[in-house]
Amino acid sequence: VDRISLRPAAPDDEPFLKELFFDIRRPEFEMAGMPVEQLKPILDMQYLIRKRSYEDTYRDARSLIAVVGNEPAANIMTVHEANEVHLIDVAVLGKFRGQGIGSSLIESLKTETDKIALMVFKTNAAAIRLYRKLGFERIGEDGMYEMMEWKNA
């Protein structure tokens, strides 16, 4: 992959963030056979709900846009506390997946802290595999989520 640069997310990144959300969530609905004309309003509503929820829950979150070349490719959202970083979300646009961008973002995060905690959907096997490959260990579960953490040795 070309060189990845990071910059803080800004209000004018909203179209990219929405595209990224749609890109990640669309397959779930398409597998259920939902027509495209019904899909967009549902995804619009879910995007707004998640955005508001994140803003309310993670007031101190840092949201960074990963740029490859001149094109936004991914988003990583974290909350930094005294002893650890909480990885809230990491998402890579479909056409950039499989190029090591997600791994690179997480490896970069490791240089900032001695502990990273996260929660991932139990059904997200690809993400769980990635986190395990990057040294995260399962520390518990909470309903639909597996809780994982990485600690600097």
Residue 19 has a pLDDT of 94
What CA–CA distance (Å, rounded) separates 99 from 69? 14
Coil vs helix vs strand at 115 = strand
DSSP lists the bridge partners of residue 67 as: 5, 72
Residue 14: which pLDDT band, with cuts at 50, 70 and 90?
Answer: very high
Nearest to 8 by CA among 62, 44, 60, 57: 62
3 has pLDDT over 90: no
- Residue range 39-62: mean pLDDT, rounded: 92
Global confidence as pTM: 0.90
The count of other CB atoms within 10 Å of the CB of residue 135 is 16
Residue 40: which pLDDT band, with cuts at 50, 70 and 90?
Answer: confident
Dihedral angle of Cα 24, 70, 48, 122, to the nearest 10 degrees: 30
101 has pLDDT over 80: yes
Coil vs helix vs strand at 106 = helix
2 has pLDDT over 70: no
Over pLDDT 70: what percentage of the chain?
99
1 has pLDDT over 70: no
Residues 6 or more apart whose Cβ sits within 8 Å of residue 17: 9, 51, 75
Residue 60: which pLDDT band, with cuts at 50, 70 and 90?
Answer: very high
